[in-house]
Amino acid sequence: MSEENVLDQFSDGELEAEVARREKIRNAPPKALLLIDWSRVESAAVEYIKLVDENKRVDQSEHFIFESVINAVFGSDVWEWVNKRLR
């Protein structure tokens, strides 16, 4: 059965409802992961303290810690959703 025939089984209204349902899912805020790996957050925090202790520049460290936390909680795919929402 060709792809066109499969779609012919559904009304325009049903297809539009399915597209709307998928858009709603795609635009929904991400959910926190069930199992969170904090190892990168810990590494970033330890490195930050080390830099401060050595009186070195920490310009990007705070942002890196923030990104590590967001990645740990939501997964790295979260940035696609964030960037789409911030446009």
Note the pLDDT tens digit of each residue in 26-73. Answer: 788 999 999 999 999 999 999 999 999 999 988 888 899 999 999 999
Q: How many Cβ atoms from other residues are within 10 Å of residue 16's Cβ?
A: 11
**SS3 sequence of 21-61:** HHHHHHHCCCCCCCCCCCHHHHHHHHHHHHHHHCCCCCCCH
Number of structural domains in the chain: 1
Tell me the whole-structure pTM to 2 decimals.
Answer: 0.69
Domain span at 64: 3-86
CA–CA gap between residue 73 and residue 81 (Å, rounded): 14
* Cα diameter, the chain: 69
